[in-house]
Amino acid sequence: MTKTTSFQMDIRPLFTERDIQGMSRAFNLRSYDDVKKHAGAIYDRIRGIGGAVMPPPPPKGEGPWQQSRIELFAKWMADGFQP
């Protein structure tokens, strides 16, 4: 079993300043509570489910995440949303 993930160590660093600013009208990607609350929808959109893939490709964003990052986000959910 690999180590437990946490928001502060593993998830928060995945979001760039651009991501945080770009999504600030909907939720705060800096905030544990907000990311936990919207985790299901975020997990869908980083896989391009339910709408345009997030982050958007250039010039709007830095483009879709690598599979390994998507899996890290899934593991954080499976680990029980550790802060």
Give the residue, chosen from 5, 11, 54, 76, that forms a contact with ligand HEM under the rule CB under 6 A.
54
- Binding of residue 11 to ligand HEM (CB under 6 A): no
Q: Are 73 and 5 in contact (CB under 8 A)?
A: no
Whole-angstrom Cα distance, residue 59 to residue 33? 29
- HSE at residue 4, side-chain half, CA atoms within 13 A, is 8
Site for ligand HEM in 16-45 (CB under 6 A): 18-19, 22-23, 38, 41-42, 45
Give the residue, chosen from 61, 70, 75, 81, that forms a contact with ligand HEM under the rule CB under 6 A.
61
